[in-house]
Amino acid sequence: MGLFSFLTQEIALDLGTANTIIIQNDKIVLDEPSYVTIDLKTDKLVAIGEKARQMQGKTHANLRTIRPLRDGVIADFNAAEQMIRGMIKMIHPHSKFFSPALKMIVCIPSGSTEVEIRAVRDSSEHAGGREVYMIYEPMAAAIGINLEVEAPEGNMIVDIGGGTTEIAVISLGGIVTNKSIRIAGDELNSDIMEYMRHQHNIKIGERTAEDIKINVGSALSKLETPPNDYIIQGPNQMTALPIEVPVNYQEISHCLEKSISKIETSILNALEQTPPELYADIVANGIYLTGGGALLRGLDKRLTDKINIKFHIAEDPLRAVARGTGIALKNVDKFSFLIR
C-alpha cells in the first residue's frame, strides 16, 4: 500500500449547496462555503470559499460570485468544476507538478435524477477524480451519526441542508422510502428577505438573511430562552435612506411558518409510505435531525409535538453527512449501496 497510497489520494466530498466539506484520513481538512468568484474576462478563478462569500453582492462588472449548486444539484457546471478543483488544491498546495490520482466519494441528494448524478460525476472526474463513488445524503447522515444502517431495523433521518431537505427511512443498508424537497436553508433565507421587504420596507441580501436566521431564527413563537433582538441596517425601499430595524425571533418564526409546515407535511407523507414494521421501529427509536436546518431554535420540539414521535438533534448536525461520507470512503468495498 505504501507506494500506491502516495500515488492515490482518497478524499470524501460533501458537496453542499451552502458548504463544501472535504475529509481525508478521517479528518476534516476543508470546510468552506460553496462559493466561487470568477473573472468574466479571463474565466479565471479569483477567490473560493469564504473569501468568495465575502465578495458576494460586492463585485464589479468584471467579477462574478457564483454558487455552483442550487437546490442540492449543480446549476453551473464550469463553476462547480473550478470550485472542486480549487478546493482540492487548497488541501494540497505544494503539489504543483504532481497531482495524485484521486479516489473520491461524493454525496448527492436522494432525489437526484440520472442527469444530475451524471453532472456530479463529470465535475468530479474533470477535477481529477480517477475513481468516483457516490452516496445518497440521508444514508451518509445515518452513517455519520453512528446508526446501524445495515441492521434489519427502521431508522428515519431528516437532513435539512442548504438546498434540499432529505427525508428517508433506512433499513438493511437501503433507502425504503424517501422524499427530497427543495425547501431548506435557502428557502428560509428567501422567506426572511421577502418578509423584511414587506413588513419593514428594508431591502436585504442573502448574507444578511442568513445572519438573521442564525441569530434570531426560530420554529416556535414561544421559546424558553429567547435570543436577543438582532439589529440590521439597510436602505429604506421608498426613500433609499438608511434605516435600522431590530428583528425579534417571534416575527421570524411567523415568517418561516409556511416553509416549516411544508417540511412537516413531507415528513408525514414519508411516514405514511413506511411499512408498518419499520414504522414501529421509528416510533421506538425516534427521528434524527441533521444538517444546518436542525439548528433552528425549537424545531425539534415543534416537530415532536406535531408528529408525536421524538425528534433528536444529531451531534454536530452540520457535519453529519460529511462524517458519514468519510466512513463510507474507508469501507467502499463493504457498503453495497454506494453508486459506482
What domains appear along the chain, each with residue ranges and CATH number?
2-140+321-330 (3.30.420.40), 152-183+260-317 (3.30.420.40), 185-255 (3.90.640.10)
- Identify the weakest region by mean pLDDT among 182-196, 297-311, 326-340: 326-340
155-211 confidence digits (pLDDT tens): 999 999 999 999 999 999 899 999 999 999 999 999 999 999 999 999 998 889 999
H or E element at residue 36: strand 36-39
pLDDT interval class at 73 (50, 70, 90): confident
Span 131-137, mean pLDDT?
92
- Give every CB contact of residue 9 below 8 A, 6+ residues apart in sequence: 24, 92, 100, 101, 102, 103
Span 57-70, mean pLDDT?
90
Say what the pLDDT of residue 31 is: 93
More confident residue, 65 or 5: 65
CA–CA distances in Å: residue 83 to residues 36, 37, 43, 169: 6, 9, 13, 32
Residue 8 clears pLDDT 80, i.e. is over it:
no
- Per-residue burial over 196-210, b = 16 or more CB atoms within 10 Å of its CB, e = otherwise: beeebebebebebbb
Say what the pLDDT of residue 77 is: 87
Q: What percent of the chain has pLDDT over 90?
A: 67
Bridge partners, 27 (sequence order):
24
Say what the pLDDT of residue 95 is: 58
Say what the pLDDT of residue 1 is: 42
Say what the pLDDT of residue 94 is: 61
Residue 29 clears pLDDT 80, i.e. is over it:
yes
| Pairwise CA distance, residues 275 & 271, whole Å | 9
Span 55-61, mean pLDDT?
87
- Identify the weakest region by mean pLDDT among 17-31, 82-96, 153-167: 82-96
Residue 97 clears pLDDT 80, i.e. is over it:
no
